Every structure is written in C-alpha cells, then in structure tokens.
Amino acid sequence: MKYFDKILIANRGEIAIRIMRACRELGIDTVAIYSEPDKNSLHVKYADEAFCVGEAHPSKSYLNKERICDVAKKTGAEAIHPGYGFLAENADFAKLVEDEGLTFIGPSWKTIKALGSKIGSKQMMHDAGVPVLPGTPEGVRSLDEAKKVAAEIGYPVIVKASAGGGGIGMHIAENEEQLEEAIEKGMRIAQSAFGDPTVFVEKYLTKPRHIEIQILADSKGHILHLYDRECSIQRRHQKLLEEAPCPIMTPALRERMTASAIAAAKAANYTNAGTVEFLYSNGNYYFMEVNTRLQVEHTVTEFITGLDMVKQQIAIAAGEELAMDQEDVSIRGHAIECRINAEDPLNNFAADPGKIVRYRSPGGPGIRVDSGIHVGYTIPPHYDSMISKLCALGSNREEAIQRMRRAIYEYVILGVKTTLPLHYAIMHNAHFIAGDTHTHFLQEEHIMADLRRYLHEEEARMQTLAASLRQGKHVAAITAAVNVYLQKNMK
C-alpha cells in the first residue's frame, strides 16, 4: 500500500538511506536535505530530489526547522520523517510540521514534550505503576535538599539534566563534597546544552545492565511490544553494541518488563514506534526514559522479528491500524549490532574524520550493513562520528557472535581510525561471550588491553584485504563513469 506520495527525510547519512529504502519499496518518492559539506553524500544521490538547507553547522542546516518545512511544502512532500538525532525528539519541530499541514512520522508533539522532561516522565511512570529509581521528585531546589535526599537513598548518587540526553550533564557523586560539585557542574552544562538548568538526583547503580523494550502503537490504542534489546556496552553513556534479545532475559522477567513498557506507552498516550529504556540490577529494573523516535539499534529488532520498523512507522503515521496482534510477533534467532564509528578507541574515542581511501563491506549469510560511506568519501567533522552499523543474525547467540567475527574480519575501512578493532576484541572477550555485560564493561573487563594486542593484527588484515581493492586505470575509468551516471540519473 502507498501511504504517501512523497516524504521528506530530515536527516543525513545511513539513517536517511535506510528510510529512503523503505519508501522506495513502498513506491513513495523521497526528498533529501543536506548541508553544504554533504552535497556529495550518498543519501543526496539516492533520493528522488535533494535540496541544500544551509551551512555545515547543524543549527544552520539539519536543525533549521523553518527551512526544512519550507522545502517540504515547496516539493509537495506530505510527511516528514526525522530519523534519529537532530530534530527527531524536538517537540517544537513536530508541532511546526503539524501546524504547516504536514504529517510528522513519529509520536505527537505533546507526547514528545511530556516525555522530554526526565523529571516529568519519571513522575508519570511512577503514577502508572512503572518502577523508578528513588531520588528527588522534582528539580533540585537547594543543595541542602539534595544532600538530604542523597543521605536517605544512600551514596553513590547521580545528578542528571532534566532536559538532557546522550549522557550530557550526568555526574556521579560518592559523597556530599562531590554532590555539591556535581550539581553546580550539571546545572551549568544543562543550561548550555539544553537551555534548561534543571537537574535532579537519583540513586546510582554501580554495574547495571541497560535493557530496553521496543514498542509500536497506532492511533486506535493498539500497543505491541517487539521484545527486548541489551544495550549495556557503552562509552561515555552512549551505546556501542546492541543485541536482541537480551542474553539474560527469562520469560517471567520479559513478561514484567514488557507489561511495564506498555503501561508507559499508555500513560503517555503514545503512537508510532518508541523505546522504553530500563536499568536492571540484582533482579530489579527501573524506568530510565522513553526514546520517542526510531532507535539506531532498530536493526536487531528487525532481524529477530522480520518486521520493517520504518514501514510500520509510515503506516501508523498515515492512520493505519497495526496489522498484527501480539501473538503474531515472535523471536527468530539472535542479532547483534556493532556501531562503527570514525573514532580512535585508544585515544579516549576521539573523533577521526577524514577521507575513506579503501572500503569493502562484508556480506554472506546473516550479515547486514547500514552505511552512508564509500571509497573517496570524506567524513565531515561537524556531525556524529558513526559511519556504519554492522549487524549479524544467527539461529542463536553463539552463531550470531561467530558471524559477527567473520563480518568484522571481512570489513575494510582505511583512511580513518574506526571502532572495528574494538568490536573484534569484544567478540573474543570471555565475559561478553558468556553474556556477562554491564554499563561499565569497557572500563572493567580489560577490553582496551586486548584491543592493543588485536590492533596490529587487524591493521595487517585490512591491508591484505585492501590490496585486492587497488584500482588499475581501467577500473578507475569504469568507476568514474559510474559516478557520472549516478549524478545524472539519481536526481
């Protein structure tokens, strides 16, 4: 079914291409937007139409709400898909899209706004019977109040920005002295990053697991869960590797957590795709937040359920009811996603933008690569460092790990440093293989020591495989001709 004639994708890179692929299968024309340095990016070439929306800095381009809506109206697009990041969870943007007579492919702006406040959403979940961590019920009004609450719930505690996300503005305090510093620093960063200095304090779990539940909800009140994902391996509170289902999940725990996720969706009057995130420790789980958008790691859920999440989003946004019941959704196998970032893991994950001089993506049974890069592409320094998502599906977790190892072995990216060697080390780590992970996994499981050992081996492997990619004059001429053809015919 063709739900819309034309959709504008308000994003860039691999997620823009991912959305465009679903649209192409549905017979929907696509409009890409791009910043000046992205004019030769693959998502620009792939779309049916593409328009520059401004300069390199995101505030001048991918965050330019009015300009994006103007392009949508001028091109005749009926809907806008925000992808993730940028404006995906911006309530003002979702409202503007609606006010301009367009369809926002995601939850309502009112829901985004309500769930965007960590304090407000936490209270909402508490009222709905969803477990939450103990802490200050409102924003910190005074240091004395914060000290009193911290003493009651016990150190360590964590200070969070109410309007925050991505780990920004989060600080851990082991005692009163650190708490004072954490609040002062957290408020300053929250004001700078989000325009809202409100922070709150809650109990800090030292080695929790990060487990999330994927939900789908239509406008008629039907809500489904698409099972669980494990996202515990992180750096700077941002995910590096995800898998589905969670390795430690039991039927009883899944029943409790999915019921809580559906209760959260009902409390927020949720529609479209969303993710309810929890922290899990010692048999208990606690609400963390709702991501009101398509997740980076939606790929592993697609692998184990066979559902196309983007198509589901588009159908729901068009007013369609969910075409399946809960009993129609089942788990088939195990999937792992590795985020391939242009970063140096041995230099505190410093970004490493630059030109891709050799590139070969892996393939074979059970492998999926979502990427927006190619040979000759220059990774700009202005945006997120993730350049590719490498996914593996197996009949069970053991086979998924085996396939991911093979895929990493086959993957060649030369010209920039990436997290590929880090993922290679993780795939061979005994604790990971046993499913024993937590949010401090990278710091405590000696991964970096293993990484140094694997790094030279990985570099040698890539150079060997890359030798087969060196182009002679004849191949280079063919490549150039193909590029010219694409530029002329993919507009």
Q: Which residues participate in catalysis according to the annotation?
A: 293
* Contact call for residues 137 and 120 (beta carbons, < 8 A): no
How many Å apart are CA 443 and CA 449, to the nearest integer?
A: 10
The DSSP line for 166-218 is TTTT-EEESSHHHHHHHHHHHHHHHHHHHS---EEEEEPPSS-EEEEEEEEE-
* Contact call for residues 379 and 356 (beta carbons, < 8 A): yes
Q: Residue 215 has which token pair?
A: 């939900």
How many Å apart are CA 121 and CA 200, to the nearest integer?
A: 13
User: How far, in Å, are 145, 146, 224 from residue 243 at the CA level?
Assistant: 40, 36, 20
Q: Residue 334 has which token pair?
A: 């195990």
Counts for the chain of helices (H) and strands (E), in that order: 17, 22
Question: Cis omega (within 30 of 0) on the bond before 37?
Answer: no
Query: Which residues lie across from 472 on neighbouring strands?
Result: none
